[in-house]
Structure 1
Amino acid sequence: MTHRQPTTSEDEMANTHNSWDQECDVLVVGSGGGALTGAYGAAARGLDTLVIEKTAYFGGTTAYAGAGLWLPGNPAQERGGLTDSADLGRAYFRAVVGDATPHELQDAYIDNAGETVAFLEDNPHVRFEYRPFPDYFAAPGRFDAGRAVFPVDLPAPVAAHPLLDAIRLPAWAERLGLPIPDGPLTDGRALIGRLLLALESTGRGRTLLNTALTRLLTEAGRVVGAEAGHTGRTLRIRARRGVLLAAGGFEANAELRREWQGLPGADWTMGAPGGNTGQALLAAVEAGAATALLDEAWWCPSLRFPDGSAAFTLGLHGGIFVDGSGRRFANESLPYDRMGRRLLAAKAGTTPDNPVWWIFDGRFGDQLPGITVVPADRTAFTEAGLWHTADTLGGLAERIGVDSAALRSTVQAFNGYAADGVDADFHRGEDPYDLFFAQGGGANPCLVPIEQGPYHAVQIVLGDLGTKGGVRIDARARVLREDGTPIPGLYAAGNTSASVSGPTYPGPGAPIGSAMVFGHLAALDLAGQG
């Protein structure tokens, strides 16, 4: 894809400043965790801040998330009795990420993680708590029980509240067309709600929904504002201090995914619908931004749905994954991004005609032996050919089109490993993360034998939680040109930027946690405190 650069004359003509529709100190594009952290940070420091959100809902994909935040050495960990530090986090992060991203960028993330939490918790609307969830790699500095903190549940408003009422629904409710659940806001919705309340409390934060960025406006090489579509017209928005792009990745853009990632389309992402088309990234490229990691995503195995979409699946406590040959190819209990990368490496589950099958037995009844963020209706899945059942393994193999002898041999070997307690092929159950979700008994609770008919096979494909390639940024979240110099007035965080973790996913909450830290750093720089 060719991205046309505007000529100098076009640039000058587009930016005569007698026709601004809106003015602010800081324009924030997006409304996920990174965007709202940056918006609150700017507004709390006295800057007039405008948040624009492309869709009708606040929160982006953050609203779907469990909202664990990987932020080493923060006050919420200390309150929870966990002793962590930036140095411990750095040792682990460096061991996992290595030289895949600049060390100064990694240090900016790690060294400012605790400060970000402390700054946010200075506002009475924001509160976090520690909950166990293991780090994803066996490396120095790892916490086997995890170091992630989560937003405390937010009580539902007792009356209509224009901000809280516009938070995106949980993924399961939105995908299935169900009403807003009763009770408090939890997980990612609690994080978005708390950040929106904090922003509102400053008296300097404004929001516009249904407002889609179309281009950045520059003057003499500096970003001075943006154009955005809103209710059928174009708004020209002046940003006196600068623009923070935190609008997610390009996971919903099928053309870009084919071009940059070699995937057939964009149907299997968990990105929130209506956004995440890469427009912020493309606008930054047109303004001269350099990019990196465009072939990367936060991968995950996903359950394929009858409508062609897919839903994030994790925490297996039963069954095995087999490819088209009827054989296992990985430890099914791996952390989800690592399992997604095994799917990529095996070239399995990446297109509709090379599915992976989740094989399990009748002991689980009509329930899937794992966690899917959107529940599956067995009848609908069976009718769509995505859930097959047979009284024998041979009959199941025939239904899913794999070699019967290979599938029987695979299951026989796995059952032997379950009896012995040792997975000789892929070492399932030997890592704290594997055991975190285990529910079985015996010598190895991760290895539940497949021996009670009827037998089931459910289709699994390669999904993602969003792309992680985007514009290059520095340690102050400033967007960089190809020559490494910053573009004045332009900042980025979250999946609009190239991830600080490179091609790895170190632990629960690294995507949102790093987005929040770089949103925080952008606000500091915009306020002249960086």
Structure 2
Amino acid sequence: MNETYDVVVVGSGAAGMAAALRASCLGMSVLILEKAHKFGGTSATSGGVLWIPNHGLGTDDSREETLRYLNAVIEGDVRRDRLESFVDQGPEMVAFLRSVGIDLQVMPWSDYFAEYPGARADRSLVCPMYDGRRLEEEFHLIREQFTRFKLLNRYTMDFNEAFGIAAKAPGWIATLARVVGRYWKDWGTRRVTRRDRLLSLGGALIAPMRELLRKRGVELRLGAAVKKLLMEDGRVCGVEVERLGHTRLIRASRGVVVCAGGFEWNQALRDRYFTVAGDRRWSSTPEEANRGELLLAGLEVGADVEFMENGWWVPTMSRPMPGVSNFHEIHQATFDVGRPHSVCVNREGDRFVNEACGYDRFGNAMIQDHLKTGKNAPCWLVFDATFRRKFPAGGYMPSPIMPDRSIGLGEWDHYIYKAPTVAELAVKIGLEPARLESTVQRMNEYARSGVDPEFGRGNTDYDRTFGDARVKPNPCLGHIGLPPFYAVAIDLGDLGTKGGLKVDDRARVLDTQGRPIPGLYAAGNASGSPFGNAYPGAGGTIGPAMVFGYVAANEMARALAAPSGSRVAASA
């Protein structure tokens, strides 16, 4: 072996950073390997939300209430020990992060199954905006947010600012001016880079962990692709790494923690495992990043897998990347599909879901409808001029920000469709006109009554959170009648995969006989979700990822501690 560390962490997203930070604080030497030339992984480009029930930050949540909720929303078999490990270790992980100086704030967002027993609106945590100068030269190496999370692909916004501007909430113009103004007042940064110095959302989560690791002397090696897990006497003892065309063998005396993401960008694996494979290009994670290399490496050393049939679904759409020839950008339509003055239909012109439900539930409904009809994935978001004025539709911002005249001529009737009547719009998008007209007419009746008898749109706190309070009597149902009418195709996108290496309640990777593989751990989307196919609330991906990264470090510390005078205290 060319180098030796106690712990090698593969991947620099939230799971990897949490594992590395905890292991370093427990006294172990750590190396982080990242195959990309930027760090932060999918986490840095995400909303950066952690779903951690009973987190202890001033709420009256409880273990019992959490398990009551999870038991209600999870369908199918999951391993109880792992589920309870997440519930029990989550508050401990939050306490650890706060003890090392990472600020976490409670967001008043409803759980995604708000109608189920035990649901709450205080289990999601975020980090406040972060000043990128604290990373010094590494500020330029953290993954940048996608266009969808920045105003005009330039200005950093936090959640409240983004939601207020997108929905044109009261005071949105002042918010817009504040966001733009603070950027241009930052003369020092403007002389160096176009990039906004402030980091929010996923960047605000990754950056403070990396700052702490830098202070502790933990190396983050970029452009380092792990090609193989190395075995010695039945134990994973290190990794084979390729960097700059050279191969190195790196020993991990205590263990390798696989936090390298899932396999959503590997079409062969999607085709092999997913119920409805979809196209890898529909994914909203960084392009070509998560291809499942470490999943395949795990299989080579005898690891088992679980929950491989599904992803963390989110409705997405694509449009040409402005100013860049021949490239497309994927845009999430996370909340757009449930806004008033719109309806989602399959390719027969029929509704198939409560459009305002959680985005993962929306994706699962697309799958079920596609299995039934063969006419979904993609489906259509149909809306009128009122919607167009108020709300974004994937990559198309509201018309006061992005008027129709600013949309490229080559995009009309190829990416976004427009017609003076619903019937003419139906013809353009290949639907039977009378059928789409009938669907829109029913939606208008529901808007007048405030009741959706088909799917209950607007019945839950979650639905109403992303509606329009100015629309009465139901903030999620608005009349679809002001011409022109528009449509965009909605794809079965994802935030990553729910399946991966099978791990136990101590984050140890299991073989096909259910036995831990010594020296091998996994967390995040590299491992199977503790929730199976469920997505319980905002941050349901990153929360467990960080918890099991933390758990893996604790497990390695326990394994290292000797009965007398160990150099690492497992309780540290």
TM-score strictly above 0.5: yes
Asked if 2 retains the 8 angstrom alpha-carbon contact of 1:55 and 1:274, the reply is no
Q: Provide Cα deviations, 1:339-359, integer angstroms capped at 9, x if missing partner.
A: 001111111899999631111
2:126 aligned partner: 150
Task: Name the CA shift for 1:465/1:374 in 2 (closer, same or farther; >3 Å).
Answer: farther
Question: Aligned equivalents of 2:495 and 2:390: distance in 1?
Answer: 24
From 465, 471, 483, give the equivalent of 2:495.
465
Displacement of 1:305 after TM fit? 2.4
Alignment of 1:40-439 (within 5 A): 40-75=21-56, 77-78=57-58, 82-97=59-74, 100-124=77-101, 126-137=102-113, 138-143=115-120, 145-157=121-133, 161-172=136-147, 181-203=195-217, 205-261=218-274, 262-306=276-320, 307=327, 310-316=330-336, 317-318=339-340, 319-347=342-370, 355-365=378-388, 368-369=391-392, 378-379=407-408, 382-383=411-412, 385-439=414-468
Displacement of 1:434 after TM fit? 0.5
Displacement of 1:90 after TM fit? 2.0
Q: What is the one-letter code of the residue matched to 2:139?
A: L
- Unmatched runs of 5 consecutive residues or more in structure 1: 1-19
Q: Secondary structure at the match of 1:382?
A: coil
1:522 aligned partner: 552
Displacement of 1:88 after TM fit? 2.1
2:540 aligned partner: 510
Q: What is the one-letter code of the residue matched to 2:211?
A: L
Asked if 2 retains the 8 angstrom alpha-carbon contact of 1:311 and 1:373, the reply is no
1:16 aligned partner: none
Q: Secondary structure at the match of 2:51?
A: coil
Equivalent pairs, count:
503
Asked if 2 retains the 8 angstrom alpha-carbon contact of 1:249 and 1:495, the reply is yes
Q: What is the one-letter code of the residue matched to 1:474?
A: D
After TM superposition, the structure 1 stretch with the greater mean CA deviation from structure 2, 425-434 or 342-351, is 342-351
Task: Name the CA shift for 1:374/1:88 in 2 (closer, same or farther; >3 Å).
Answer: farther
Q: What is the one-letter code of the residue matched to 1:97?
A: I
Q: What is the one-letter code of the residue matched to 2:313?
A: W
Q: What is the one-letter code of the residue matched to 2:499?
A: G
Displacement of 1:327 after TM fit? 1.7
Q: Secondary structure at the match of 2:536?
A: coil
CA RMSD in angstroms comes to 2.4
Question: Aligned equivalents of 1:469 and 1:309: distance in 2?
Answer: 25
Task: Name the CA shift for 1:173/1:210 in 2 (closer, same or farther; >3 Å).
Answer: farther
2:185 aligned partner: none
Question: Aligned equivalents of 1:468 and 1:350: distance in 2?
Answer: 25
Task: Name the CA shift for 1:287/1:350 in 2 (closer, same or farther; >3 Å).
Answer: farther
Question: Aligned equivalents of 2:438 and 2:75: distance in 1?
Answer: 39
Q: Provide Cα deviations, 1:14-67, integer angstroms capped at 9, x if missing partner.
A: xxxxxx222211000001111100000101111000000010111111111112
After TM superposition, the structure 1 stretch with the greater mean CA deviation from structure 2, 109-118 or 96-105, is 96-105
1:8 aligned partner: none
Asked if 1 retains the 8 angstrom alpha-carbon contact of 2:370 and 2:376, the reply is no
Q: Provide Cα deviations, 1:277-307, integer angstroms capped at 9, x if missing partner.
A: 1011111111110001111100111123245
Displacement of 1:228 after TM fit? 1.1
Asked if 2 retains the 8 angstrom alpha-carbon contact of 1:38 and 1:520, the reply is yes
TM-score by length of 1: 0.90
Q: Secondary structure at the match of 2:6?
A: strand
Displacement of 1:146 after TM fit? 3.6
Question: Aligned equivalents of 1:74 and 1:232: distance in 2?
Answer: 45
Displacement of 1:380 after TM fit? 5.8
- Unmatched runs of 5 consecutive residues or more in structure 2: 155-192, 321-326, 559-569
Task: Name the CA shift for 1:303/1:215 in 2 (closer, same or farther; >3 Å).
Answer: same
TM-score by length of 2: 0.83
Question: Aligned equivalents of 2:334 and 2:35: distance in 1?
Answer: 29
Q: Provide Cα deviations, 1:217-256, integer angstroms capped at 9, x if missing partner.
A: 0011100000011111111111010100000000111121
Percent identical across equivalent pairs?
37
Q: Secondary structure at the match of 1:83?
A: coil
2:169 aligned partner: none
Asked if 2 retains the 8 angstrom alpha-carbon contact of 1:39 and 1:51, the reply is yes
Task: Name the CA shift for 1:304/1:370 in 2 (closer, same or farther; >3 Å).
Answer: closer
From 501, 507, 513, give the equivalent of 1:477.
507
Asked if 2 retains the 8 angstrom alpha-carbon contact of 1:290 and 1:480, the reply is yes
Q: Provide Cα deviations, 1:408-433, integer angstroms capped at 9, x if missing partner.
A: 11111110010011011111000111
After TM superposition, the structure 1 stretch with the greater mean CA deviation from structure 2, 36-45 or 58-67, is 58-67
Question: Aligned equivalents of 2:269 and 2:549: distance in 1?
Answer: 25
Question: Aligned equivalents of 1:88 and 1:411: distance in 2?
Answer: 40
